[in-house]
A and B are shown apart, each in its own frame.
Chain A
Amino acid sequence: MNMLRPHEIGTIFKQLMENMKLNPLRWLALVALVVGLLAAGAPAQAAESDGSGDPKAVQHSADGNYLNFEPFGVIELPRLFLARTAEGGFTFDAFATTHAALDHGPYTLGDGEGGTLTDAQVDASFKDHKHLYFPVKRAQGSIMVDFSLTRHTVYVFLVGLIVVVVMLRLAAKYKRGVGREEAPHGTWQNLMEVFIVFLRDEVTKPTIGERWKTYFPYVATVFFFILLGNLIGLVPWGVTATSNIMVTGTLAAFTFVLTQFAGTKEYWQHIFNPPGVPVFVKPFLVPVEFIGLFTKPLALAFRLFGNMLSGHLVIVSLIGLIFIFAAQLGTGVGYATIFISVPLTVFIYVLKLAISFIQAYIFAILSALFIGLAIEEHEHVGEEHIGIEEDDERRRAEIEGDGVPGQAEELQDVLDEGVTETTPVVSEPAR
C-alpha cells in the first residue's frame, strides 16, 4: 500500500484550499463555528457539575423567562402580570426583569409545591440566578394571566422576523427580474430556489392538485418558519422554539383552520353523512370522523414537538452520563465515558440536523395533504396526476408563447415562471 508522505499531504491540503477558495473571512467564520460548538457544551457541563439535583440541564431545553448565555451571563426578560389584588380589584404590573419584580413588586417565589419561599431564601436564590427556576407568586392576591415574555416567544419573533426579511429580499430580487429574465444570481438565490422548487413540485402540486397556487404561500411559509426554528436551536445558545407545544400547536391550528375553510361540500358530507354506509353504522362512524378532524392537527403538533424536544433531552442525557458515571464509579470512569458520550452526542447532533429538515418537510407536506383531502373532488380520485400533467403542458405552452410574464403578477407566480424559464431541467416533475 502506498502511504502518503508528509509533503504530499501538504500539497493536497494546499490544492484543497485553492479549490475551496477559503479567504481569511471564511477561515474566521470556520474558527468561530468550531469555537462556538465547543462552547455550546459548556452550559450543560456547568449545570451538571454542581450536583445539587437542580434540574438546570433539563431547564436548558424547557421554556423560561431568561436568555441563557451561561459563561457570559444571563439576560432576564420582562415580566408582565395581570393580577388580582387582595381587595379583589385588577391590576397590570410590568417589570423589566424577574429580579425587579421580586425586589420592587408585591411578588415572591413559590417552591413549586404550593408553599412560599421566605424572604431570606428568595435573597439567597439571586445568586446563580436560581430565582429563575421557581414559579413567581403574588404575595397578596393572585396572578390571573402571566403575559411575561419567555425565550421561546423571543425566538418565535426572531425566527419570524428573519424569515420575513430574507424572503422579502428574495422576492424583491425576482421582481427586479433576476431569476426570471436571467439566471438566478449567487449561491443564496440558487439555494433558496432549490427549496422553493421542491416545495412547489414535490410537496404542494401532487397533494393539493389544481388549486395549489392558493395554498402554496402557506405551505412555503410554514416550511421555512419551522426549518429556521429547528436550525436556530442547533446554534450555540440558540433556543428551539419549535420544541414548545404551544408554538407547534399554534402552527397546527393554522393548518386546521385553513383546512376547514378549504373544505368542499363533499368534505363535510363525508364527515357528517358518509355516503355508501349503512344507516345503522352512521351513529358510530360520524363521531369517529368528527374526532378525526381534531386528531390530525393534534398529531401534527405533537409530532413536531416530540421530535424537537427528544433530541435535546437525548443530548442532555448522554452528556449527563459522564457525570453520573464519574459520581458513581470514580473520576477515571467518568473521563473514560467522555470517549463514548461525546461521539454519540455528535452523532445525535447530526441526526438532529437531518430531523430539522425532515420535520419541516413532514409538517409542510401533511398540511398540504390535509388541505388537499379537504378540497379534493371525489369523483376524480386517482386522476389527479393527469390534471397536473395537463397543467404543466399548458404552462409550458404559455411560456414558450408569451416569453416574459407580466410585472404585476403574484409572488408565487413570479417565482414559478422565473424558475421554469431559467432552470427547465429542475422544474420537470420526475415521472
Chain B
Amino acid sequence: MGNAALAYLAAGIGIAGAALGAGLGIGRLASSAMEGTARQPEAANEIRTTMIIAAALIEGVAIIAEIVAILLIVLT
C-alpha cells in the first residue's frame, strides 16, 4: 500500500471510531435525559438545555476527529 492509501485507510478507521464513541456517548446522554424528563416533566426545559450543552461537547470531540480525517485526506 502506498502512503495515500494508508492515509485514506487511517481516515476511514479514525472516523469510524469517532462515530462509534460519539454515538455511544450521545445515546447514553439522550437515554438519561429522557429518563429524567419522564420522572420530572416540569424540568424538561432545563434538562433539554443541559443535554444540548453536553451533546455539543461530546460532538465536539467527534468533530475534531472529523477534522483530522479531512486533513488526512486533503493533505495527502
B45 CB to nearest A CB, Å? 6
Q: A365-B52, A366-B52 are in contact. Are A431 and B59 (CB under 8 A)?
A: no
Question: For residue A202, which residues in chain B have a CB less than 8 angstroms away from its CB?
Answer: 45
In angstroms, Cα B55 to Cα A365, docked, is: 12
In angstroms, Cα B61 to Cα A296, docked, is: 11
Q: Can you report 5 A-B residue pairs in the complex whose CB atoms are below 8 A from each other?
A: A302-B66, A306-B66, A362-B56, A365-B49, A430-B44
Any B CB within 8 A of the CB of A244: no
Query: Considering only CB atoms and an 8 Å cut-off, how many residues of chain B contact the other chain?
Result: 14
Question: For residue B63, which residues in chain A have a CB less than 8 angstroms away from its CB?
Answer: 298-299, 302-303, 306
Q: A302-B66, A362-B52 are in contact. Are A295 and B46 (CB under 8 A)?
A: no
> Closest chain B residue to A292 by CB distance?
B60
Any A CB within 8 A of the CB of B4: no
Question: For residue B52, which residues in chain A have a CB less than 8 angstroms away from its CB?
Answer: 362, 365-366, 369
Any B CB within 8 A of the CB of A396: no
In angstroms, Cα B19 to Cα A170, docked, is: 41
Question: For residue A302, which residues in chain B have a CB less than 8 angstroms away from its CB?
Answer: 63, 66-67
Contact with B along A197-220 (1 / 0, CB 8 A): 000001000110000000000000
Q: Which of B21-76 contact A (CB under 8 A)?
A: 42, 44-46, 49, 52-53, 56, 59-60, 63-64, 66-67
Any B CB within 8 A of the CB of A36: no
In angstroms, Cα B57 to Cα A295, docked, is: 10
Question: For residue A169, which residues in chain B have a CB less than 8 angstroms away from its CB?
Answer: none
In angstroms, Cα B59 to Cα A159, docked, is: 28
In angstroms, Cα B63 to Cα A306, docked, is: 8
Query: Considering only CB atoms and an 8 Å cut-off, how many residues of chain A contact the other chain?
Result: 18
A177 CB to nearest B CB, Å? 32
In angstroms, Cα B52 to Cα A365, docked, is: 8
Any B CB within 8 A of the CB of A135: no
Contact B56 A299 (CB under 8 A): yes
Contact with B along A279-299 (1 / 0, CB 8 A): 000000000000000011011
Any B CB within 8 A of the CB of A385: yes
> Closest chain B residue to A382 by CB distance?
B46
Q: A302-B63, A302-B67, A366-B56 are in contact. Are A431 and B49 (CB under 8 A)?
A: no
Interface residues in chain B, defined as those with a beta carbon under 8 Å from any beta carbon in chain A = 42, 44-46, 49, 52-53, 56, 59-60, 63-64, 66-67
B25 CB to nearest A CB, Å? 14
Any B CB within 8 A of the CB of A429: yes
Query: Could you say which of B45, B53, B64, B67 contacts A431, with CB atoms under 8 Å apart?
Result: B45
Question: For residue B64, which residues in chain A have a CB less than 8 angstroms away from its CB?
Answer: 295, 299
> Closest chain A residue to B42 by CB distance?
A431
Query: Could you say which of B44, B53, B60 contacts A369, with CB atoms under 8 Å apart?
Result: B53
Contact A430 B56 (CB under 8 A): no
> Closest chain B residue to A369 by CB distance?
B53
In angstroms, Cα B66 to Cα A302, docked, is: 8
Q: Which of A62-100 contact B (CB under 8 A)?
A: none
Contact B49 A207 (CB under 8 A): yes
Contact B56 A385 (CB under 8 A): no
Query: Could you say which of B45, B53, B59 contacts A299, with CB atoms under 8 Å apart?
Result: B59
> Closest chain B residue to A430 by CB distance?
B45
Query: Could you say which of B45, B56, B66, B67 contacts A429, with CB atoms under 8 Å apart?
Result: B45
In angstroms, Cα B60 to Cα A369, docked, is: 15
Which one of A207, A299, A369, A431 has the greatest number of beta carbons of chain B within 10 Å?
A: A299
In angstroms, Cα B63 to Cα A87, docked, is: 45
> Given A295-B64, A298-B63, A303-B63, 15 other A-B contacts at CB below 8 A?
A206-B45, A206-B49, A298-B67, A299-B59, A299-B60, A299-B63, A302-B66, A303-B56, A306-B63, A306-B66, A362-B52, A365-B52, A369-B49, A430-B45, A431-B42
Question: For residue B44, which residues in chain A have a CB less than 8 angstroms away from its CB?
Answer: 430
B52 CB to nearest A CB, Å? 6
Question: Nearest 5 pairs between A and B by C-beta?
Answer: A299-B60, A302-B63, A299-B63, A431-B42, A366-B56
> Closest chain A residue to B41 by CB distance?
A430
Which one of B42, B46, B56, B59 has the greatest number of beta carbons of chain A within 10 Å?
A: B56
Question: For residue B67, which residues in chain A have a CB less than 8 angstroms away from its CB?
Answer: 298, 302
B8 CB to nearest A CB, Å? 15
